[in-house]
Amino acid sequence: MSSTGITAQQLWFTAPGQVEVRTLLLEAPAAGMMLVAVKCSAVSAGTELLVYRGLLPDHMTLDATLPGMQHNANYPLQYGYASVGEVVNIGAGVAAHWLGQRVFAFQPHASHFVAEPAQVIAVPDDISTEAALFLANMETAVNLVQDGNPQLGEHAVVLGQGIVGVLLLQVLRQFPLASLNAIDATVARRQRAEALGAHAVADPADPQALAGLMQQLGQRGADLVFEVSGVPDALNLAISLAGFASRIVIGSWYGSKSAQIALGGAAHRNRLQLITSQVSTVAPALSGRWDKSRRFTLAWELIRQLRPQQWIGERVVLAAAASLYQRLHQQQQAASSAHDVLQAVFVYDN
């Protein structure tokens, strides 16, 4: 790297189903800034595939709380929110201890980026670089649990066993629930949920399996349902599983996708609580004692315990992005396939 800067590779979404890698000369960091060489970045098979498919509402910012994504979802655009790298250069006024520090950042996919110290999170020395990639998703799992507030002896169901659903299932296993159950359309994901200790696992398209799950829940139905499948119509299944005055925590973000939701009949009479959960904020009921820093500390501890890096199924270079997104897209379209890449990762030669 020269003193004048470095050429960075950046991933851009240019149109629905199209991505390209662009190069950009990054100048040496200005005062108060630092340059990070990225080691790896995690691909989100949820929101990120909405970007790839062109299914984001164009009237909303990608994320109002993250500096790198405070722009509307209009092509061309960058996306990504889980990068881990090493600080390789610092500007005037940045504390010397940052140089050489591994950091996590909510940054779009790129080989290098420039940020302020406040925009990155130092990775603890005892956590590997690939494990650190899961900070965002683990914080999401923690936020979902806090919003759902599971109680002793309750019956809980997790709809969707993508990476957030798997982490959520693992966190919920630590609670003294009467039963913890999972639903997913993919064979490999149902098998994984069973291996992780789910009491009952069902295919949403299999009436017999759903009947078995209802038997597991008992006549009162589920006390707590988490919807993290990314499929809007899954809310109807959540409603059918829910018992009187139960909670349905909606962790999925559907973008511009929609579905008719049956809120009449039993749903109305059952006094259901529909809770929209979003990790960018802390629930008001907890904000007197919890903030983002405390939640990150808990997420790091859960990463140590649960070793989420075991769920990385594919590692590719940025130049292979187009084929990776196409495979992930096809994987979701063929949900019955036994093949499943739970977490894909871009790796960088830095």
Helix (H, G, I), strand (E, B) or coil at 163: helix
Contact 157, 224 (CB under 8 A): yes
What is the DSSP-derived secondary structure letter of residue 30?
-
In degrees and rounded to multiples of 5, residue 118 shows phi and psi of: -70, -15
Q: What is the pTM of this model?
A: 0.92
| 126 burial level (CB within 10 Å; 0-12, 13-18, 19+) | exposed
Contact 172, 165 (CB under 8 A): no
pLDDT in tens, 262-296: 888 888 899 999 999 999 999 999 999 999 999 99
What is the DSSP-derived secondary structure letter of residue 174?
T
Residue 234: pLDDT over 60? yes
Rounded distance between C-alpha atoms, residue 52 and residue 29, angstroms:
31
Average pLDDT over residues 320-339: 82
- In whole angstroms, what separates CA 341 from the centre of its chain? 14
Question: What dotted CATH number matches 5-133+307-347?
Answer: 3.90.180.10
Q: Would you place residue 45 in the very low, low, confident or very high pLDDT band (cuts 50, 70, 90)? A: confident
In degrees and rounded to multiples of 5, residue 235 shows phi and psi of: -65, -30
pLDDT in tens, 63-93: 545 555 445 678 999 999 999 999 999 999 9
Rounded distance between C-alpha atoms, residue 113 and residue 69, angstroms:
14
Rounded distance between C-alpha atoms, residue 346 and residue 84, angstroms:
11
Rounded distance between C-alpha atoms, residue 200 and residue 202, angstroms:
7
Average pLDDT over residues 112-120: 97
Rounded distance between C-alpha atoms, residue 222 and residue 56, angstroms:
31
Tokens of 69: 């994504």
* pLDDT > 90 in the chain, percent: 82
Amino acid at 90: I
Rounded distance between C-alpha atoms, residue 350 and residue 343, angstroms:
21
* pLDDT > 70 in the chain, percent: 93
Rounded distance between C-alpha atoms, residue 217 and residue 202, angstroms:
13
DSSP 67-132: GGG-SBS-SSB-----EEEEEEEE-TTS-GGGTT-EEEE---SBSEEEE-GGGEEEPPTTS-HHHH
Residues 6+ apart with CB under 8 A from 160: 183, 184, 226, 227, 228, 229, 230, 231, 234, 252
| pLDDT of 256 | 83
| pLDDT of 332 | 80
Residue 4: pLDDT over 60? no
What is the DSSP-derived secondary structure letter of residue 243?
E
Q: Are strands 200-202 and 273-276 parallel, antiparallel or unpaired?
A: unpaired
DSSP 268-325: HHTT-EEEE--TTS--TTTTTT--HHHHHHHHHHHHHHH-GGGGEEEEEEGGGHHHHH
Rounded distance between C-alpha atoms, residue 280 and residue 278, angstroms:
6
Give the range among 53-57, 103-107, 288-292 with minimum mean pLDDT: 53-57
Overall CATH class of domain 140-276: alpha beta
- Comparing C-alpha atoms, which of 306, 300, 314, 316 is closest to residue 342? 314
| pLDDT of 220 | 94
Average pLDDT over residues 126-132: 98
| pLDDT of 268 | 87
- Comparing C-alpha atoms, which of 299, 295, 280, 296 is closest to residue 66? 280
* Domain residue ranges of the chain, discontinuous segments joined by +: 5-133+307-347, 140-276
